[in-house]
Amino acid sequence: MNSPRAHDPSLPPDGAPASLGAEPAPGGNPLRGREAVSVRFENVVKDFGPVQVLRGVSFELAPRRVHGLLGENGAGKSTLMKILAGYEAATAGEVRVNGEPCHFSGSREAEAAGIVLIHQEFNLAEHLSIVQNMYLGHEKRRSGARGWLLDEAAMRAEARQYLAEVGLARDPDTKVRDLIVAEKQLVEIAKALSRRARLLIMDEPTATLTPSETERLFALMAKLKADGVTIVYISHKLDEVERVTDEVIVMRDGRFVAQSATADVSRRQMANLMVGRDVLDMFPEKAPPRADARVALKVEGLVVPGWVQADGGLGFEVRAGEVLGFAGLVGAGRTEAFEAIVGLRRRTAGTIEIEGKPVTLKSPRDAMRHGLTYLSEDRKGKGLHVDLSLEDNLTLMTLERYARPLIDVKACRAALEKSVREFGIRTGDLASRARMLSGGNQQKLALAKFLHPDPRVIVLDEPTRGVDVGAKRDIYFLIHRLAAEGRAVIVISSELIELIGLCHRVAVMRAGRLMATLGMEHLTEKELIAHATGTQ
């Protein structure tokens, strides 16, 4: 890959007016005819206290192109984009937009300039409706109403158009708290479109989307690019990066590493540049579980109102030493079934046995006491307390282990230090709060937390969502190690390659029903998709 290229002659010369407040052209697509945006980062540095996150980053984003921004968790990608989008201020260096130095005082100022960031972690008010979220702080006023009456009809009508464009068939008055995770992601994208972005930053936008939703997003990106929008696409899914970007930019440890046309670099080269070493096989070799291994978890006749159907209910079992996958489209009922199993959601029927003994699980704490833990796909909402320290998060589920009767501070700190080493959690300060970690490092902390009680059955819901290629490999080998230790592991994932590479068997759900359970000899993308979509 090449070093930062010379200034593109198609860009405006230094000192040219940026026209950041340009209004949309009247009629038609509001993006068409608006000025294209180019960006140049010049020796950008960002410090968070004693920790230097960005170390003199310099490169350019040419206009009307899709740029893939790659790097491991903690490489500085999101921080750099937050600086561009006005959420953070650089400690040193400069950001130039269309040749002009830009120092946005906040995200609203950046959005007024047409620069919009779609966050990896949702930035939505759960108690408000979709339309209220989309126009929060950007409300439309009735003409001639002296600025205090809202034009709710106009906002609702426009919201419907943007929701249709991203493929979300929901009433704009639906409360965000009533949406599933994938639908919230589509609301974030629709909200960004409503800002009439000229430079759109997408941070892991497909992490929760189904294949059909992802295809719709890619078509939308192509349309935006044709309308002159510059796009920054941050993703750990290298197959997507290879498919939808014009060029890739790699960062590592807060530094710029390389920039190249996407067509000139392979996925393996991308991965190697991200981690700074040769990435070999992603998945460990699967050893078949012992045929005489005990049944660790058995579920029969599970019914979850609205999600898992009552005609027979859901039934499955997983043995010690086995990795059982759950596949299905978003809305198939996978997550909701396991939330019901551990007491997070109401169930109306079903029996649960752990190691041959019937159990009644009314809460996740009940499940943990019986040797079952569940790591939610929503790490910020249900996995971590982001405003607590790393140590408090790690030991919260097992406080009785450290209370003698007062909390053994040294033992808690030793446990944290061990988990930081074993899980490769990158943190400059062990006393920092969980929200100070990057998304991938938050995921590693969540894994450490839910494995800390030493469970015999572990359910991992989207365990590598938003995690970089190096960390993914670490998690895959961790799952292999857990199974080799004789634990039963259940992996719920939307990534078919992940399920095929990890699992001994995969259960496929569709519309709240178990359609099939496939052994290793039948684990192919074609087979899984056929059962998930009902086309087998």
What pLDDT is attached to residue 407? 84
Residue 261 has pLDDT above 50, yes or no: yes
Q: How confident is the model at residue 492 (pLDDT cuts 50, 70, 90)?
A: very high
pTM of the model: 0.62
170 Cα distance to chain centroid: 22
Q: How confident is the model at residue 32 (pLDDT cuts 50, 70, 90)?
A: very low
Cα distances (Å, whole numbers) of residue 251 to 58, 117, 256, 404: 11, 19, 5, 46
Which residues, other chains included, contact 522 with Cβ-Cβ below 8 Å and sequence gap of 6+? none
What pLDDT is attached to residue 29? 36
Residue 484 has pLDDT above 50, yes or no: yes
Q: How confident is the model at residue 516 (pLDDT cuts 50, 70, 90)?
A: very high
CATH architecture entry for 295-371+455-533: 3-Layer(aba) Sandwich (3.40)
Q: What is the domain partition of the chain in residue ranges?
A: 55-275, 295-371+455-533, 380-445
Length of the chain: 536
Residue 437 has pLDDT above 90, yes or no: no
Q: Which two tokens stand for residue 386?
A: 């982001």
What pLDDT is attached to residue 195? 84
- To the nearest 10 degrees (0 to 180), the angle between helices 439-451 and 409-423 is 120
Residue 340 has pLDDT above 80, yes or no: yes
Per-residue pLDDT of 343-376, as tens digits, reads: 999 999 999 999 999 999 999 999 999 999 999 8
Residue 502 has pLDDT above 90, yes or no: yes
User: Among the listed ranges 40-44, 454-458, 470-474, which one has the minimum average pLDDT value?
Assistant: 470-474
Count CA atoms within 13 Å of residue 332 on its CB side: 24
What is the chain's mean pLDDT, rounded? 85
Number of Cβ within 10 Å of residue 454's Cβ equals: 11
Residue 9 has pLDDT above 80, yes or no: no
Strands (E), 417-474: 457-461
Percent of the chain with pLDDT over 90: 41
What pLDDT is attached to residue 22? 33
Number of Cβ within 10 Å of residue 526's Cβ equals: 9
Residue range 182-199: mean pLDDT, rounded: 86
Q: How confident is the model at residue 165 (pLDDT cuts 50, 70, 90)?
A: confident
For β-strands 39-48 and 92-97, DSSP reports them as antiparallel
Asked if 80 and 93 count as a contact pair (C-beta separation under 8 A), the reply is no
Q: What are the start-end ranges of the H helices in 89-202? A: 107-112, 130-134, 152-166, 181-194
Q: How confident is the model at residue 280 (pLDDT cuts 50, 70, 90)?
A: low
Residue range 25-44: mean pLDDT, rounded: 64
Q: Do domains 55-275 and 295-371+455-533 have the same CATH topology?
A: yes
Residue 92 has pLDDT above 80, yes or no: yes
Number of Cβ within 10 Å of residue 90's Cβ equals: 21
Return d(Cα 40, Cα 59) in angstroms, integer. 6
CATH of domain 55-275: 3.40.50.300
